[in-house]
Amino acid sequence: MNGAVSANVEIPTRIEVLGDNDAAAWDDYVDAHPEGTFFHRAAWRTVLEDGVGFATRYLVAWRAARVVGVLPLARVKSLLFGDAWISLPFCVQAGVIADDASAATALLAQARALAEQHGVNYLELRHSRPVAPAWPTKSDTYVIFKRELSPDPAENLKAIPRKQRAVVRKGIEAGLVAREESSLDNLFHVYATSVRNLGTPVFPRRYFAALCRSFPAQTRITTVFAGTQAVSSVLSFVYKDTVLPYYGGGLPVARDLKAFDFLYWEVMRTACAQGVRYFDYGRSKRDSGSFAFKKNWGFEPVPLHYEYHLVKAHAIPDRNPNNPKYALAVRLWKQLPLPVANALGGLISPYLA
């Protein structure tokens, strides 16, 4: 009888901060959970701490010795851009994943308490679906683009709409060559040049180094060459059954050479040959240039749900570079010499996350 009574007693959920000895249990949970993403993996804690110096708080929901939910958080704090706990900066989505509503509610409550305790402006949780629907939510700004791949590369090429497929073929016919690289040199130069030309500060090189060091099996650098010149390059993440080209760019000549299009086709073709099932084009703002580019490949947008608990802030933050108040800064940034933009970018870009 005592055994039957004990079996019916509900095991309480407790929330703890992730300890170093529990990182494997965290990753096992993320890997097995259907909503677990690459951005949930525990090593992002190291990337954010070592790569950009953010404080982190990785919350774990336990029942006895079993993980039943996780929520990674990092604090983004600066004089210019305010103070927030975010899950997670630089990441498309890394909010709450849990076994059930009880575990999710406990994690949300602990995150809110943390935000209140530190007196931040707000808490921001990035989800692929509504998790805290009563919170202020931004669901019309960001979307993701993801599509299943055919095992046959020729079928994947055929699936690209005709006009875009013709552009990809021009890149193929231009004699461009794609190579996988272990060095950051070409990637960083091409990416830094590309974002400077868009008026955006680049992340510090140490951030990319921390990513590759922390995720050696999940990161891939693909660079496209025209002759001996690297003209476009992308850092991709490969996780579970998905490839996600994430940090990519090109030199000005890349547009005429169709090197952007060739680059992403090569990432898709190589992933398909290696048995990857899904191609994830990542996050874009609605009505942006990258949004239109991905739509042209035949991908359909799926909205992301960014949910907020406001502490000191009175409204959802708007850090959109298309915000008119940033227009002058964007124009000036485009004029900076690249070495200056790289040096300053490493000081500013982490706080735009």
Q: So what's the pLDDT on residue 324?
A: 66
What 3-state class would DSSP assign to 325? Answer: helix
**Boundaries of every domain in the chain:** 12-139+304-317, 143-303
Q: For strand 122-127 and strand 82-87, is the pairing parallel, antiparallel, or unpaired?
A: parallel
CA 211 to chain centre: 12
Q: So what's the pLDDT on residue 325?
A: 67
Token pair belonging to 170: 């021009």
Cis omega (within 30 of 0) on the bond before 88?
yes
Closest CA to 37 of 303, 242, 245: 242
Is it true that 12-139+304-317 and 143-303 share their CATH fold? yes
Q: So what's the pLDDT on residue 3?
A: 38
What 3-state class would DSSP assign to 136? Answer: coil
Q: Look up the pTM and report it.
A: 0.91
Listed in sequence order, the residues at least 6 apart from 191 whose beta carbon sits closer than 8 Å to its beta carbon are 202, 233, 235, 247, 248, 249
pLDDT tens-digit profile, the chain (353 residues): 333 333 444 789 999 999 989 999 999 999 999 999 999 999 999 999 999 999 999 999 999 999 999 999 999 998 777 899 999 999 999 999 999 999 999 999 999 999 999 999 999 999 999 999 899 999 988 999 999 999 999 999 999 999 999 999 998 888 999 999 999 999 999 999 999 999 999 999 999 999 999 999 999 999 999 999 999 999 999 999 999 999 999 999 999 999 999 999 999 999 999 999 999 998 988 888 888 888 888 888 999 999 999 999 999 987 666 666 667 888 888 899 999 988 988 888 877 77
Determine contact, residues 97/35, Cβ cutoff 8 Å. yes
Q: Which CATH number fits domain 143-303: 3.40.630.30, 2.30.110.10, 1.10.287.70, 3.20.20.140?
A: 3.40.630.30
Q: What is the CATH number of domain 12-139+304-317?
A: 3.40.630.30
Closest CA to 70 of 118, 131, 9, 117: 131
Determine contact, residues 16/58, Cβ cutoff 8 Å. no
User: Which residue type occupies 268?
Assistant: M
Please tell me what DSSP assigns to residue 50.
Answer: I
- Helices (H) then strands (E): counts for the chain: 14, 15
CA 80 to chain centre: 23
Token pair belonging to 173: 């016919």
Q: So what's the pLDDT on residue 288?
A: 84
The gap between the terminal CA atoms of the chain, to the nearest Å, is 56
